[in-house]
Structure 1
Amino acid sequence: MRQSRAAAKRRTKSFILVCVLFTFITLVIGGVTYAFLHQPPGLDQQRFCPANGPLGHVVLLVDKTDPLDFTQKQAFQSSLEQLVTGGVAPGYLLSVFVLGEDYKANAAPVFERCNPGDGAGASAFTSNPAHLKKRFEQDFRGPMQRVADELQATKSAKYSPIFEMLEMTAINGFRKQNVNGPRRLIIVSDMLHNTPEYSMYHGNPDFERFHQSDYGRKMSTDFNGVDVELQYLLNTPHLQTRRHLKFWEGYFGAAGARIVAVRPLEG
């Protein structure tokens, strides 16, 4: 009788163990299946954007009409690194435009790719973090670093067509890509427009007067819903006053955008 009870206990323990093991295997299979069925769509192999399109759009416009001094160059490189490693979320598209003397020659972006993600926080169970990190370095951060030299001038330009280049970023950046998600415009510039039609080096800029002029109406564009960040190159501080910033607040406000951050670069 004792042997029968002992055998019954062993059978009960074995049954419980089998049930626990079966439940564990079921949960593992269910987790893997869920992760497989709910994993994000793959990336296209040209721009490394999600197959369903970018999740957001960051446009960077860099002014190279004047050379950067040593301190400005250090600040710019640091700012660029911060943008690439933390300012563009995974799945977001980064488009980079150059502001040069000839806006027609700079109408297209010099860099345009999505951040494929660097694998930070990725589960080794459902992905390959090392592979994701390598892809980020080779296909996003590395190419962007190589473009950095193209964003810096070696000599001063005669003109600085900021309004025309802003039109290019609106047309060939935001409008062309038509990303359904957050949109942000980052401008690295002294924001001192200078062309034969209009120059901020003469007199105090007044947006309402400019906006009502023929040239001002011609330079109107659409940045509806765009958040704007100004990274000021303080090349001419006596012109880059609160009144100067107010001009740009009026400009972007009329275009449907808003300035959300103003940060002078050192130097």
Structure 2
Amino acid sequence: MPRYRKRKQATQRKNLIGSLLIFAVLGLVAFLAFFRYELQNKQLAYDTETLCPSNITSPKYVALVFDKSDAYNKIQQQFLRRFFDDFKANLLPGTRISIYVIDAHNNKEIAPDFVVCVPRTGDDANALYENPKLIRQRWHERFEQPLDLAINGFMQPAQADFSPIMEVFQTISLSAFPLGSETVPKQIILISDMLQHTPEWSHYRGQMDFSKLQKTLYYQRINTDLQQAEVNILYVRREGMEKLQNKRHAFFWSDFIQSIGGRVTLIEKIDG
């Protein structure tokens, strides 16, 4: 009997060890499957130039608009650099940024002058299979540096005879906000003195009455749909234009933007 009991106990131990090994193998297989799923989930296809993910909707669409019809002084440039440092730090990964320039070339291609999507910073990297340092380096080299160069370049002056500000909203609607993105948050940030100047409509000629603009064929031609985009205006003060850059001027733009499906949530006079 003692020998039989010992053999039985040995068999039970072997069965227990075997069961534990099976559970360990199953656990390892499950872990490897989860690891592979996570890795594939992170490895989306990206456009090599813009860093924008392919075949998925961005979490947000942002359009930056620089008015190059006049110069920015040093104080204004410093204000804008500080603004964009904070702007970059609060972007969601995958956000698509399209940059536009307002200049005299109103007949140029309906497309952004620069496009980039925000990559991950590495703060949420999984140390098991990702390198946070390399991800951060990619964010800096492929996103931050090119965006900074683009912004600095667009802040350089370029004298122009006209300033077609109203027209740029139509360009943004057609090229920055893709079809099927109606429910995705959208933001437009304009850096401009907001002094519209074209042969059809000019604030320099005292044309500040939006109700009159709305009755013109010109308005019908530039009308568009901003899909409830949030519009922020960084209002650039121009020397000698105090009589034009007043509350009536701000109300004109608020009425115009609302009429084309936008929401003015900020009008901030920048320093300088």
Band of TM-score, shorter chain: 0.7 to 0.9
Equivalent pair of 1:162/1:193 in contact (CA under 8 Å): yes
Q: Could you give the per-residue CA deviations for residues 88-145 of structure 1, whole angstroms, max 9, x where no partner exists? A: x211111101011222247432211211222122222232212211221222111112
Identity %: 26
Matched ranges for 1:103-114 at <5 A:
103-105=106-108, 107-114=110-117
Per-residue deviation at 1:203? 2.8
Any runs of at least 4 consecutive aligned residues in structure 1 with deviations exceeding 6 A, and if so which?
A: 14-24
Per the alignment, residue 178 of structure 1 pairs with 179
Per the alignment, residue 53 of structure 1 pairs with 56
Residue aligned with 1:146, SS: helix
Per the alignment, residue 152 of structure 1 pairs with 155
Per-residue deviation at 1:37? 5.4
The alignment covers a number of residue pairs equal to: 263
Per the alignment, residue 165 of structure 1 pairs with 168
Matched ranges for 1:125-140 at <5 A:
125-140=128-143
Residue of 229, 232, 236 corresponding to 1:229: 232
User: Quick one: structure 1 residues 237 and 132, their matched pair in 2 at CA, closer, same or farther if it must change by over 3 Å?
Assistant: farther
Residue aligned with 1:108, SS: coil
User: Quick one: structure 1 residues 153 and 37, their matched pair in 2 at CA, closer, same or farther if it must change by over 3 Å?
Assistant: closer
| 1:97 counterpart = 2:100 | yes
Per the alignment, residue 265 of structure 2 pairs with 260
Q: Which moved more, 1:214-223 or 1:59-68?
A: 214-223
Matched ranges for 1:167-206 at <5 A:
167-174=170-177, 177-178=178-179, 180=181, 181-203=184-206, 205-206=208-209
Per-residue deviation at 1:230? 1.0
Per-residue deviation at 1:63? 0.5
Q: Could you give the per-residue CA deviations for residues 201-236 of structure 1, whole angstroms, max 9, x where no partner exists? A: 233612111111222222212212211111111223
Equivalent pair of 1:58/1:94 in contact (CA under 8 Å): yes
Distance 2:221 2:130 in 1: 51
User: Quick one: structure 1 residues 42 and 102, their matched pair in 2 at CA, closer, same or farther if it must change by over 3 Å?
Assistant: closer
Q: Could you give the per-residue CA deviations for residues 145-203 of structure 1, whole angstroms, max 9, x where no partner exists? A: 222243124354322111122222222332xx336222211111111101222111233
Q: Which moved more, 1:58-67 or 1:46-55?
A: 46-55
User: Quick one: structure 1 residues 115 and 155, their matched pair in 2 at CA, closer, same or farther if it must change by over 3 Å?
Assistant: closer
Distance 2:243 2:57 in 1: 41
Equivalent pair of 1:85/1:141 in contact (CA under 8 Å): no
Residue aligned with 1:178, SS: coil
Matched ranges for 1:78-89 at <5 A:
78-87=82-91, 89=92
Unaligned ranges ≥5, structure 2: none
Residue of 238, 251, 254 corresponding to 1:249: 254
Per-residue deviation at 1:27? 7.1
